């Protein structure tokens, strides 16, 4: 599979297309603000009609999970879900199939002047290209 990830202010996935507002940034903050992740997954022909699990993990500069408070205690910030795509009638055999996902994220309590990475995995597999990094601005004094 091939995964393309883009950071944005907001995103919608509608009828196989991504509608992206404020897309392509790599610096944010320092104050918490909403953000979004636009994902385009190219599914190989032979992986169609199968259910796949994805995970987006937020990691710090050292590759450690970012811990956030939740109602049940502090936990690593991860987004998970499943997708499946079918082969449309008449599509040429061997053609990759597109899956698009738009994930909007509320404000996160991230440290100013820090580096972070969203890492994607599919079916518990990841490669280096399946990630996108960003930096938070330092606080003004």
**In this predicted structure, what is the pLDDT of residue 77?**
95
Give the predicted TM-score (pTM) of the model. Answer: 0.92
**In this predicted structure, what is the pLDDT of residue 70?**
86
73: domain range? 2-136
**In this predicted structure, what is the pLDDT of residue 49?**
95
**In this predicted structure, what is the pLDDT of residue 69?**
86
Determine, yes or no, domain membership for 28: yes
Could you read off the pLDDT of 18-73 as tens digits, one per residue?
A: 999 999 999 999 999 999 999 999 999 999 999 999 999 999 999 999 998 889 99
Domains in the chain, number: 1
Determine, yes or no, domain membership for 10: yes
Q: What share of the chain is helix, strand, coil (3-state, %, to 5)?
A: 0, 55, 45
Instruction: Give residue 97's pLDDT band: very low, low, confident or very high (50, 70, 90).
Output: very high
CA atoms within 13 A on the CB side of 88: 9
Cα distance between residue 17 and residue 100, in whole Å: 7
Determine, yes or no, domain membership for 141: no
Cα distance between residue 26 and residue 95, in whole Å: 32
pLDDT > 90? residue 140? no
Instruction: Give residue 109's pLDDT band: very low, low, confident or very high (50, 70, 90).
Output: confident
The domain that contains 63 carries what CATH number? 2.60.40
Determine, yes or no, domain membership for 87: yes
* Residue given tokens 């937020």 in the structure block: 58
**In this predicted structure, what is the pLDDT of residue 35?**
96
């Amino acid at each position: 599979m091939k995964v393309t990830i883009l950071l944005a202010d907001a995103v919608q996935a509608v009828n196989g297309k991504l509608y992206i507002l404020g897309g392509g940034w790599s610096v944010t903050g320092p104050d918490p603000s909403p953000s979004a992740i636009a994902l385009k997954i190219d599914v190989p022909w032979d992986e169609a009609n199968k259910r796949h699990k994805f995970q987006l993990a937020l990691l710090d500069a050292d590759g450690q999970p970012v811990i956030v408070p939740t109602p049940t205690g502090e936990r690593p910030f991860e987004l998970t879900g499943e997708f499946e795509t079918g082969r449309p009638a008449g599509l040429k055999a061997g053609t990759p199939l597109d899956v698009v996902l738009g994930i909007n994220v509320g404000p996160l309590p991230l440290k100013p002047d820090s580096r972070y990475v969203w890492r994607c995995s599919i079916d518990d597999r990841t490669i280096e290209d399946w990630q996108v990094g960003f930096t938070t601005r330092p606080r003004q004094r």
